[in-house]
Amino acid sequence: MHSFFQSLLPGPIVTDGAWGTQLQAQGLAAGECPDGWNLTQPARVETVARAYVEAGSQVILTNTFGANRLRLAAHGLGDQVAAINRAGAQISRRAAGSRARVFASIGPSGRMLALGETDEAELREVFAEQANALAAEGVDALLLETFSDLNEIRPALEAAKATGLPVVVSLLFDSGSARDRTMMGTTPEQAVAALVEAGADVFGANCGRGIDGYIPICRRLRAATDRPLWIKPNAGLPELVAGRAVYRTSPEQFAARVPDLIAAGATFVGGCCGTSPAFVAAMVRRLNSEGSK
Amino acid sequence: MNDFGKLREAVLAGDSAGAVAAARLALDDGADPLDLVLNGISPAMSEVGRLFEAGDYFVPELLISARATKDVFTVIRPLLAKQGAQPTGRVVLGTVQGDLHDIGKNLVAALLEGGGFEVIDLGVNVSPEKFIAAVEGRKAQIVGLSALLTTTLPAMKSTIDAFRSAGVRDRVKVMIGGAPVTQSFADAIGADGYGENAASSVPLARRLVGL
């Protein structure tokens, strides 16, 4: 395991929450490229980053989830990969200061290998381009998040590790009758087996479901590996109420289950879709009160 | 009488070469190409869909089965055309305005092609006007609307309303799908069909074109 994590362990470490909905609250339009805001609206992106630091996040991410060449190309920003990623890293580092670490977000390419929409060689190039730009700005670690396909993770992990930075790999388990597999049919155990071999420093899962469903997933990950675990559930599932997406889980309800998640083996705990700085604050309060027991 | 057992097995196994070989053998044996579709390919695809819904088959299995049936269609399409049989149907697909997600839509495209449909894929963030133009221009029988974001569900309603305002609502069947979509939402906005997952798009599309 990368020596970097020794300084953070044993945990638990509070990460951050959703960025998409926070950016929308700052005025990001539906269909607008969030990553592009690193260049066009950096102050608003920094507002989101600072809000998480203020709420108590010990690790914040970067607004670079979709900032790979393939996804940016769809917005006409394919030639801005380095600029967007570097700006995203700079913004988060400014906001984090000395209070929080910065893990840079790398999301899937948006192309399906199985449909022949890309190939491993292209993915290696594309992820290397993004990882190198992020690493150049001095982020603390790289996070591959919301991935479903081991065949896509492999080139991404290769590119990430080539930077020398620690790497977190987080998958989306939302399929199968028990909703414990990725879309491609991979179980937590299969993922751990493949990714330990490929050198991931931290494993985890994010998105897809609320915190209750994450407890058994976390237990299975913990049974499969001794590495630190990264968990980021959604705030439940959204409902459309009067034209707006409403997540039914409150910050307090979410935070109430965090001790169970930690007991199940989680090291890094945060939230994904539907969460906010209020969720982080509630988690911090909850963990502080647990700590004083 | 051919029961197309070998063909069905090959499709279920995602064995493209085996499926094509079984189809050719059946045809050489005198099987009717349309019969092969209705009693060979179609039940096999339905079984694949059922296995997917049961959580036993995943995306990779769906895709290799769809590729097998697509390869069989390549062989029999000219024979069907010679017989005067109509292509299964023409479907315009797109992710609605404001939404950029396309994996679900792309899976549906692959599966519908595997089911013998002609697919016109408009991509993502598609305006109602663009959907209407494609349906009219390509004389499609079905339009499929996809959305992953809860916040873009209203765009499905606006798209259907736009078809109505343009006076062409009754010329096409609308099917919708995507993670946040539900049957009750489909009913509320006047869609003709709702697919719970990518695999259900094929039997749904067949039903909508009257097969």
Global ipTM: 0.77
Asked if residues B131 and B92 have their Cβ atoms less than 8 Å apart, the reply is: yes
User: Is B108 at the interface with chain A, CB within 8 A?
Assistant: no
All CATH 3.40.50.280 domain ranges in chain B, comma separated = 90-208
pLDDT in tens, A167-203: 999 999 988 888 899 999 999 999 999 998 889 999 9
Selection from B187, B101, B115 nearest residue A30 by Cα: B101
Side chain identity, residue B110: A
pLDDT in tens, B76-128: 988 988 887 777 899 999 999 988 888 889 889 988 888 889 999 999 999 99
pLDDT in the model for residue B2: 66
| Residue the block writes with tokens 């102050």 | A43
Selection from B156, B127, B192 nearest residue A240 by Cα: B156
- Does residue B135 come out as left (phi exceeding 0), alpha (psi in the -120 to 50 range) or beta? alpha
CA A40 to chain centre: 23
Rounded average pLDDT over A134-157 = 97
Tell me the pairing of strands A167-171 and A141-147.
parallel
User: Is B188 at the interface with chain A, CB within 8 A?
Assistant: no
Rounded to an integer, what distance in angstroms lies between the CA atom of residue A18 and that of residue A28?
A: 14
Backbone angles phi, psi at A36, to 5 degrees: -60, -25
Answer yes or no: do A74 and B124 touch at CB < 8 A: yes
At B106 the three-state DSSP class reads: helix
User: Is B125 at the interface with chain A, CB within 8 A?
Assistant: yes
Q: State both tokens at A53.
A: 């630091």
pLDDT in tens, A220-262: 999 999 999 999 999 987 777 776 778 889 999 999 999 999 9
Shortest CA distance from A185: residue in chain B: B58
pLDDT range class, residue A291, cuts 50, 70, 90: confident
Mean pLDDT of chain B: 91
On the question of a cis peptide bond just before residue A216, with omega within 30 degrees of 0, the verdict is no
Give A98: exposed, middle or buried? Use CB within 10 Å, 0-12, 13-18, 19+. Answer: exposed
pLDDT in tens, A66-119: 999 999 998 999 999 999 999 999 999 999 999 999 999 999 999 989 888 899
Greater confidence (B112 vs A123) lies with A123
Rounded average pLDDT over A50-55 = 98
Rounded average pLDDT over B18-40 = 93
Q: State both tokens at B117.
A: 């449909």
All CATH 1.10.1240.10 domain ranges in chain B, comma separated = 5-82
Rounded average pLDDT over A279-289 = 96
Rounded to an integer, what distance in angstroms lies between the CA atom of residue B57 and that of residue B44?
A: 13
pLDDT in the model for residue A207: 93
pLDDT in the model for residue A248: 86
Selection from A70, A75, A69, A73 nearest residue A28 by Cα: A75
Shortest CA distance from B185: residue in chain A: A240
CATH topology for the A3-291 domain: TIM Barrel (3.20.20)
Mean pLDDT of chain A: 94
CA A93, A91, A97 angle in degrees (round to 5)? 30
Backbone angles phi, psi at A102, to 5 degrees: -120, 120
Statement: residue B23 has pLDDT above 90: yes
Statement: residue B130 has pLDDT above 60: yes
Tell me the pairing of strands B118-121 and B142-146.
unpaired
Asked if residues B196 and B53 have their Cβ atoms less than 8 Å apart, the reply is: yes
Answer yes or no: do A240 and B150 touch at CB < 8 A: yes
Q: How far is B198 from chain A (nearest CA, A)?
A: 12
pLDDT above 90: percentage of residues in chain B:
61
Answer yes or no: do A115 and B97 touch at CB < 8 A: no
> Does an H or E element contain B120, and which?
strand B118-121
CA A88, A182, B202 angle in degrees (round to 5)? 110
Superfamily per CATH, domain B90-208 = Cobalamin-binding domain (3.40.50.280)
- Residues from A contacting B (CB-CB < 8 Å) are 30-31, 74, 110, 112, 114-115, 117, 175-178, 181, 183-185, 238-240, 243-245
pLDDT in the model for residue B196: 86
Statement: residue B189 has pLDDT above 90: yes
pLDDT in the model for residue A292: 59
pLDDT in the model for residue A1: 64
Statement: residue A293 has pLDDT above 60: no
CATH topology for the B5-82 domain: 1.10.1240
